[in-house]
Amino acid sequence: SIAVIGSLNMDIVNRVEKAPLPGQTIKALETSYVPGGKGANQAVAAARAGARVEMFGAVGADTYGEILLENLRSSRVGTESVLLKQDVGTGLAFITVDELGENSIIISPGANGKVETQDVQVEERQLLEPDIIILQNEIPYSTVAYALEYFGAKGKYIIYNPAPAFAPPENAFSRVGLLILNETEAAVLSGAETGTIEEVHSAAKILVDKGCREVIVTLGAKGLFYLNREGTTVYLPAFKVAVTDTTAAGDTFVGAYATAMVEGKPVQEALRFASAASALTVTRKGAQTSIPERLEIDAFLSQ
Ligand code: ADP
């Protein structure tokens, strides 16, 4: 099984003609409420791709939290380890999308900012032993660092998606099995340029040398670059699809790749599987609303 430790947000998305200037009041063309948060998105992606998944995180004691939990359950994600924090709201993301598709986002971490080290200890949560742990950066780094130590010491395979970009202390890398990050994050963590594929290769090499076993740099519409400790490299172009909204592309990739790993798929096949899942995500609107089911991924791959 897979344990995802991370954020849950309600995304409140306002579609507008033009984003408001300071002091201005404008009308939204349309407002939608979409379950999101990198942790929850990745958990949903892994579960819809076919894995058994348990979510670790927190919501506030409000209606948004209830909706997010119900939504996870309807995607077959276990929610017993999502805690209800008092005196704080559920995490919210206020997203403005203008007519050019340009985004501006305010994140209000709420309960995500209150996920503490003791919240991630599996023994007390009666979880079946997870094979893979997935972590991101939308909960306090002190908790991420603790989870790296705690699960690393247990010999668990840890997938770390350092998003939003934040360069962790050097000693974190040796606990990471697989680092999955986009070009911006790869630049921040390696301190190197990632503009060309050669630069991406060098940046990935720097990250492997810091101590993680495998690195995947996702390159948006260009695809991805894979490098492991043994020096094996893979460049896989993205599937060509009609793009509607790239929200949750990276999260779908992470979740689907973890599922492929749990199933024991070889690297090449796992990369193709996760690319197909995220290609489907970019053809649809929203975060968790856009994440495909296993049947859709298999159908896409066999067409
Ligand atoms: P993030 O959302 O974290 O920035 P990326 O934009 O790199 O991540 O996207 C992650 C993966 O999603 C890519 O490696 C690719 O497989 C897929 N993807 C993203 N954008 C597209 C696109 N325009 N067409 C097809 N696949 C895409």
Sign of CA dihedral 252, 256, 261, 265: negative
Q: Is the ipTM of this complex over 0.95?
A: yes
Lowest mean pLDDT among 13-17, 28-32, 101-105, 280-284: 101-105
Residue 230 has a pLDDT of 98
Asked whether 249 lines ligand 1 (CB < 6 A), one says yes
Asked whether 239 lines ligand 1 (CB < 6 A), one says yes
Q: For the residues 112-122, what does the mean pLDDT come to?
A: 90
Q: Where are the alpha helices (DSSP H) in the chain?
A: 38-49, 63-74, 141-153, 183-190, 197-209, 249-262, 267-282, 294-301
Residue 286 has a pLDDT of 86
| C-alpha neighbours within 13 Å on the C-beta side of residue 149 | 10
Kindly state the tokens that stand for 61: 């004691």
Point out the ligand 1 atom lying closest to the alpha carbon of residue 275.
Answer: 16
Asked whether 238 lines ligand 1 (CB < 6 A), one says yes
Among protein residues, the one whose CA lies closest to atom 8 of ligand 1: 250
Residue 67 has a pLDDT of 97
Residue 231 has a pLDDT of 97
Kindly state the tokens that stand for 22: 């300071």
Residue 107: pLDDT band by 50, 70, 90 thresholds?
very high
Point out the ligand 1 atom lying closest to the alpha carbon of residue 163.
Answer: 3
N-to-C CA span, the chain: 29
127, pLDDT greater than 70? no
Q: For the residues 64-76, what does the mean pLDDT come to?
A: 97
- Are 149 and 141 in contact by the 8 Å Cβ rule? The answer is no
Q: In the chain, helix, strand, coil percent, each to 5? A: 40, 25, 35
Task: Give me the chain's average pLDDT, please.
Answer: 95
Q: For the residues 160-189, what does the mean pLDDT come to?
A: 96
pLDDT tens across 142-153, in order? 999 999 999 999
Asked whether 41 lines ligand 1 (CB < 6 A), one says no
pLDDT tens across 230-273, in order? 999 999 999 999 998 888 999 999 999 999 999 999 999 999 99
76, pLDDT greater than 60? yes
Residue 130: pLDDT band by 50, 70, 90 thresholds?
confident
User: Strand 53-60 to strand 77-78: parallel, antiparallel, or no bridges (unpaired)?
Assistant: parallel
* Catalytic sites, residue numbers: 251
Point out the ligand 1 atom lying closest to the alpha carbon of residue 248.
Answer: 2
Using most ligand atoms within 8 A of CB, pick from 179, 200, 246 the residue to mutate for ligand 1: 246
- Are 6 and 32 in contact by the 8 Å Cβ rule? The answer is no
Residue 125: pLDDT band by 50, 70, 90 thresholds?
low
Residue entry with tokens 């506030």: 60
Centroid of ligand 1 to alpha carbon of 180 (angstroms)? 12
Among protein residues, the one whose CA lies closest to atom 13 of ligand 1: 220
- How many whole angstroms separate alpha carbon 167 and alpha carbon 190? 8
Q: For the residues 42-68, what does the mean pLDDT come to?
A: 97
Asked whether 221 lines ligand 1 (CB < 6 A), one says yes
Asked whether 243 lines ligand 1 (CB < 6 A), one says yes
Lowest mean pLDDT among 1-5, 120-124, 156-160: 120-124
Closest C-alpha to 271, from 297, 236, 298, 245: 236
Residue 161 has a pLDDT of 98
Closest C-alpha to 163, from 57, 71, 273, 37: 37
- How many whole angstroms separate alpha carbon 5 and alpha carbon 46? 13
Degrees (nearest 5) of the Cα angle 98, 283, 269? 135
Among protein residues, the one whose CA lies closest to atom 24 of ligand 1: 221
Which strand (E) or helix (H) includes residue 93?
A: strand 91-97
Asked whether 179 lines ligand 1 (CB < 6 A), one says no
